[in-house]
Amino acid sequence: MTAPTTPPKTAPAAPLVVSADDLVALVSRIFAAAGLAEEAATTVADGLVEADLEGQPSHGVMLVDMYVDRLRAGSLSTAATATVVSDRGPCVVLDAGNAFGHLTGPQSIDIAVARARKQGVGIVAVRHGFHFGTARRYALRAVDQGCIGITMCNTRPLMPAPGGAERLVGNNPVAIAVPTDDAVPLVLDMATSEAAMGKIRLAEKASQPIPATWAVQADGSPTTDARQAIAGMLLPAAGPKGFGLALMIDLFCGLLSGGASGDRVRPLYGDPGIPYDCSHLFMAIDVGHFCELSWFRAQAAAAANRIRDGKRAPGVAELFTPGEPEWRARQNANRTIRLDGAVARSLIKVAEDLHISAAPLRAIADDPSTEKHYAKT
Amino acid sequence: MTAPTTPPKTAPAAPLVVSADDLVALVSRIFAAAGLAEEAATTVADGLVEADLEGQPSHGVMLVDMYVDRLRAGSLSTAATATVVSDRGPCVVLDAGNAFGHLTGPQSIDIAVARARKQGVGIVAVRHGFHFGTARRYALRAVDQGCIGITMCNTRPLMPAPGGAERLVGNNPVAIAVPTDDAVPLVLDMATSEAAMGKIRLAEKASQPIPATWAVQADGSPTTDARQAIAGMLLPAAGPKGFGLALMIDLFCGLLSGGASGDRVRPLYGDPGIPYDCSHLFMAIDVGHFCELSWFRAQAAAAANRIRDGKRAPGVAELFTPGEPEWRARQNANRTIRLDGAVARSLIKVAEDLHISAAPLRAIADDPSTEKHYAKT
């Protein structure tokens, strides 16, 4: 049965609905074939697919082909762990040696948590790091152990100083998670730019103007034109505030680790032979060293409920706590992912280049009885 | 000699130029007369006058009459120190007992620094706190000891959640300072609102529209009308980002201290008999526990210079590092302050109510040969 509105299965924009478990299995096989140990390959795959489930495809399996390019070119290591550079009480410096942030990230936050459980606080700074996916994952891992979790990393320069006309700091993200009794994790995960480049690209496609706070032209002049913005630079969130935060994150990550900061961090999508070389910082604060964890959790849950139950502006249907949109996306996903057609094809290509089966993507794409898996967007 | 453009010396808006040292002396006498020990009175006066010198009059001597009202009404204590509630390694909880934040702030950050110098990190959470002036002062005090300094506090709810129509979190400030070789201190000091209420009041006076990102009407609807904004609510910086940060600061300060968060923090300018009851958090990270302090300082200075020497957008004369505007204001002030006429009169009144001499304000205001001290704004 073929409905006339069903798009052709090879159309570039047609998303495929795939099971998360099948996708984890495929991506695991890809990374294992590219040289990672089996467990490490699964950990990386889990992290990527989780981002897709949370409605964050920019941190999802769309990264696989770039990761594999970098593994092949040697700028990304197949090692599963970072090595200890220095270890002084709650303060630890690690060298990730260009290993996957998806692997050194859990290692780093677990060290921070172990120190925090014993000494109240743990801070782990990581040099020669690589992309670690969403920062929220590591912050939430600390929460599972009764700790406040804080994660940061730097990126190459993307944003000018307020009034500037050249890229000086990355849109360096920070995630902060706190323990709560609420069913929904309470976690802030923010880049320090006012808006994501993806939103500007959407405005360009829709021929819509963008707010003047989102970006500037290449010479630093204001713009509300998405095309000029794409050729220009992202602006920091709330101007000098986001710029100052981004700078502090760059210095925390790059300097405390003795690693790279500023333009010594390279483009993620640049030459795959040149290490990305970002720096990370992980902090855990054991709540029990300050107050009763159960009281803290109850109070945090009450604060979340005050937000959710708060009065709403006209036309607003619901209010969300920080981290709730990602949690809801995950609940609604029901372990299935609507994969962008171009991403699906890139995965098939990577898999076949590595002489492994691209099932289940191929099966879905090839089987004429599976039109139901297609959806229009 | 009286120039015809000189405004009458009793005009409400005429600012007085006074020496910072004279102002510290006067304000010290005021607080001593109101019950503070002499050294404590001078410390509070120094903190207030420093804010005026740094171009932050909202944190300056304009607060004196409210502070004195609260001392008289008993909601602000004359005690000079906070007491220790708990002390576990790098984690300390203090009870300020409604003493001046200007007094318990230095005490708190000094404890955090002492722990950091010994153990790498120190975190001091303070319950039953009072207004501490600018957050940057305490963060910079840690920098003087080779530490990164971080200061936060909560305020009563002022901002809605994105899409909300009631005040849920304060515009809770955070300051972050890092050691640097640069002559200019490198310090971010930001409230988590998009704009300060003072800027909205200026727009109202000038009958100018405000950006839609600054505030909403009382029912949560968007507005660019300053009057509607003043009757409404401040918006968080960059929407959900500033809201999330403000919430996390509220929970860090209020919960780790076992103190007040959310609407349990009272209005600063509310009933002077009811304690303000904010909570503070101070953190120090000893740089030497991670890397060479001299290297960190040199790298931080290089980052500052990259900002200052960066390419500028058309029409932009200079680029500033975080904290540089306040530093410049202070350099330019040359230990003199242009005091708002209404603030000067409130100080004279407070002083005379306490039966102490209001010199030098009275002298300047009364002496016809001192018109040169007046300036139009």
Cβ within 8 Å, pair A160-B310: yes
Q: Which residue has the higher pLDDT, A2 or A38?
A: A38
Is A313 within 8 Å of B220 when comparing Cβ atoms?
yes
Distance in Å, alpha carbon of B118 to nearest chain A alpha carbon: 10
Omega cis (within 30) before B360 = yes
Same domain, A184 and A214: no
pLDDT in tens, B30-40: 999 999 999 99
- Between CA B235 and CA B210 the distance in angstroms is 12
Residues A244 and A256 grouped into a single domain? yes
Contacting residues of B for A88, CB less than 8 Å apart: 120, 289
* Cα Rg of chain A (Å, integer): 21
Q: Is residue B369 part of a domain?
A: no
SS (H, E, C) chain A: CCCCCCCCCCCCCCCEEEEHHHHHHHHHHHHHHCCCCHHHHHHHHHHHHHHHHCCCHHHCHHHHHHHHHHHHHCCCECCCCCEEEEEECCEEEEECCCECHHHHHHHHHHHHHHHHHHHCEEEEEEEEECCCCCCHHHHHHHHCCCEEEEEEECCCCCECCCCECCCCECCCCEEEEECCCCCCCEEEEECCECCCHHHHHHHHHCCCCCCCCCEECCCCCECCCHHHHHHCEECECCCHHHHHHHHHHHHHHHHHCCCCCHHHCCCCCCCCCCCCCEEEEEEEEEHHHCCCHHHHHHHHHHHHHHHHCCCECCCCCCCCCCCHHHHHHHHHHCCEEEECHHHHHHHHHHHHHCCCCCCCHHHHHHCHHHHHHECCC
Claim to verify: residue B171 and residue B264 sit in the same structural domain: yes
* pLDDT for the residue numbered B130: 98
Q: Does residue A59 form part of some domain?
A: yes
- Segment B59-78 shows an average pLDDT of 97
- Average pLDDT taken over every residue of chain A: 92
Verify that B58 and B27 share a domain, yes or no.
yes
Which one of B245, B256, B312 has the shortest CB-CB distance to A188?
B245
ipTM exceeding 0.85?
A: yes
pLDDT in tens, A84-108: 999 999 999 999 999 999 999 999 9
CATH (domain of B152): 3.30.1370.60
Contact B27, B45 (CB under 8 A): yes
Query: Measured between CA atoms, how close is B214 to chain A, in angstroms?
Result: 10
CATH of the domain at B46: 1.10.1530.10
C-alpha of A217 from chain center: 26
pLDDT in tens, B86-116: 999 999 999 999 999 999 999 999 999 999 9
Give kind and range of the element (H or E) at residue B222.
Answer: none
Distance CA A114, CA B283 (A): 20
Residues B302 and B251 in one domain: yes
| Continuous segment of H or E residues that includes residue B328 | helix B324-333
pLDDT at residue A207, as a whole number: 94
Question: Is pLDDT at A301 greater than 60 in this prediction?
Answer: yes
Cβ distance B311 to A164 less than 8 Å, yes or no, reads yes
Q: Which amino acid is at B55?
A: G
- B123: nearest CA partner in chain A: A121
Q: Which residue has the higher pLDDT, B176 or B359?
A: B176
Report if residue A320 sits inside a domain. Answer: no
Is position B4 within any domain?
no
Instruction: Please list every residue in chain A whose beta carbon sits closer than 8 Å to the beta carbon of residue B93.
Output: 290-291
Query: For the segment A248-277, what is each residue's pLDDT rounded down to a tens digit?
Result: 999 999 999 999 999 999 999 999 999 999
Residue A5 has pLDDT above 50, yes or no: no
Q: How far is A170 from chain B (nearest CA, A)?
A: 13
Please name the member of B241, B251, B316 whose beta carbon is closest to the beta carbon of A303.
B251
What local confidence, expressed as pLDDT, does residue A317 receive?
97
User: With contact defined as beta carbons under 8 Å apart, do B176 and A192 qualify?
Assistant: no
The band of B172, judged by pLDDT with boundaries at 50, 70 and 90, is very high
pLDDT (tens digit, 9 = 90+) per residue, B1-21?
Answer: 334 444 444 444 467 899 999
Residue A372 included in any domain: no
* B17 three-state secondary structure: strand
Query: Is A220 domain-assigned?
Result: yes
Higher-confidence position of A6 and A245 = A245
Distance (Å) from the C-alpha of residue B270 to the closest C-alpha of chain A?
23
* Dist CA A143 CA A140 (whole Å): 5
How far, in Å, CA of A177 to CA of A149, rounded?
A: 5
Determine which of B87, B91, B118, B213 to mutate to test the interface with A (most A C-beta atoms within 10 Å): B91
CA distances from B296 to A155, A178, B113, B175, B292 (A): 19, 30, 17, 19, 6
Whether residues A147 and A264 fall in one domain: yes
* Stretch (H or E) spanning B209: none
How does pLDDT run across A133-189, given as a tens digit for each residue? 999 999 999 999 999 999 999 999 999 999 999 999 999 999 999 999 999 999 999
Number of domains in chain A: 3
Residues A298 and A244 in one domain: yes
Task: Judge if B257 and B181 occupy the same domain.
Answer: yes
B220 & B284 share domain:
no
Mean pLDDT, rounded, for A341-346:
90
- Which residue, among A279, A290, A327, would best test binding to B if mutated, counting the most B CBs under 10 Å from its CB? A290
pLDDT score of A367 more than 70: no
Rounded mean pLDDT of A239-254?
A: 98
Q: What is the mean pLDDT of residues B160-187?
A: 98
Residues B293 and B344 in one domain: no
- Indicate whether A365 pLDDT > 90: no
Residue A376: the pLDDT is 29
Separation between Cα atoms, residue A298 and residue A316, nearest integer Å:
27
Q: Are B20 and B335 in contact (CB under 8 A)?
A: yes
- Domain annotation covers residue A254: yes
Cβ(B300)–Cβ(B181) under 8 Å? yes
Chain centroid offset of residue A219 CA:
29
Q: What's the pLDDT tens digit per position in A178-224?
A: 999 999 999 999 999 999 988 999 999 999 999 999 999 999 999 99
Q: Number of Cβ pairs closer than 8 Å across A and B? A: 243
Interface test with B, best of A87, A121, A316 (most B CBs within 10 A): A121
Q: Which pLDDT score is estimated for B361?
A: 82
- Can you give the pTM of this predicted structure? 0.94
Percent of chain B with pLDDT over 70: 92
pLDDT at B368 over 80: no
Which tokens sit at B153? Answer: 């506090």
CA dihedral B20, B26, B31, B32 (to 10 degrees): 120
pLDDT one-digit tens code per residue, A113-128: 999 999 999 999 999 9
* A355-364, B159-168, B320-329: least confidently modelled range: A355-364
- Which of A166, A221, A311 is closest, CB to CB, to B166? A311
pLDDT of A6 over the 60 cut: no
CATH number for the domain that contains residue B221: 3.30.60.50
Q: Compute the nearest-CA separation of A80 from chain B (Å).
A: 23
Query: Do residues A165 and A276 share a domain?
Result: yes
Q: Are residues A172 and A211 in the same domain?
A: no
Q: Is A298 domain-assigned?
A: yes
| Amino acid B369: pLDDT | 46
Domain residue limits at A31: 15-73+335-361
